[in-house]
Amino acid sequence: MLLLWIIIFCVSLFILIKAADYFTESAEKIGYMLKISPFIVGVTIISIGTSLPELATSIIAIIQNQTEIVVANAIGSNIANILLIVGLTALISGRLVVKRSLIDIDLPLLATATALIVIILWDKQVLFGEGIICILGYIVYAAYTIKEGREEKTKLEGIVPGEDIPATREKRHQSRKKRQDHTFKLIFILIFSSIFI
């Protein structure tokens, strides 16, 4: 019986790693094709996708009436992401470069989110209304990040020489159509791999 569970664990781990690989690759390509910065792709698509295992585990824990696992899972995962993941990638790459906006905006928001969860958990329970506050907080953060990314993209965009020439417009139209077809394929891979995650 133990051998069976070891095999199941290894197979599950392999599927998770491969699915995460496809998920990350497709999200990165979608971001590149839609001209979205890698940071925004990470904050939105990849952050949600990589949180799916925690979400699935938490839902199963609730069904089994093991609610302590939910909070411990979320907090433990964030600590691992901040300290273990950042630490290991810094060791492997030698140096991680971050934008000024990460220090000025995202770190204070991280501190605020941490303070909020401490306040919420102070009475050793998370109520329905507090859950709504948490979700709204994430939506506000994601919306703000996307808005900032669009403004940055608008500043960087310029007029492409020859864009008013009909032949150039036709070529750009065909290229756009091909890009859209490829984007739909990537979205399908993204959704499919997220199910396996």
pLDDT digits (tens, 9 = 90+) for 78-117: 888 888 888 898 898 888 877 766 677 778 888 888 888 8
**Alpha helices of 122-165 — where are they, by DSSP H?**
128-156
Joined tokens for residue 18: 């491969």
Average pLDDT, the chain: 79
Report pTM. 0.64
Closest CA to 191 of 13, 11, 49, 69: 49
> What type of residue sits at position 61?
A
Q: What is the pLDDT of residues 25-42, one digit of tens each?
A: 888 787 777 777 777 777
Q: Which residue has the higher pLDDT, 153 or 68?
A: 68
The rounded distance, in Å, linking the Cα atoms of 144 and 149 is 9
> What type of residue sits at position 173?
H
**Inter-residue contact 52 to 63 (CB < 8 Å):** no
The rounded distance, in Å, linking the Cα atoms of 139 and 107 is 17
Q: What is the pLDDT of residues 59-81, one digit of tens each?
A: 888 888 888 888 888 888 888 88
Task: Supply the pLDDT for residue 157.
Answer: 55
Task: Supply the pLDDT for residue 161.
Answer: 46
The rounded distance, in Å, linking the Cα atoms of 43 and 36 is 11
Joined tokens for residue 66: 């093991």
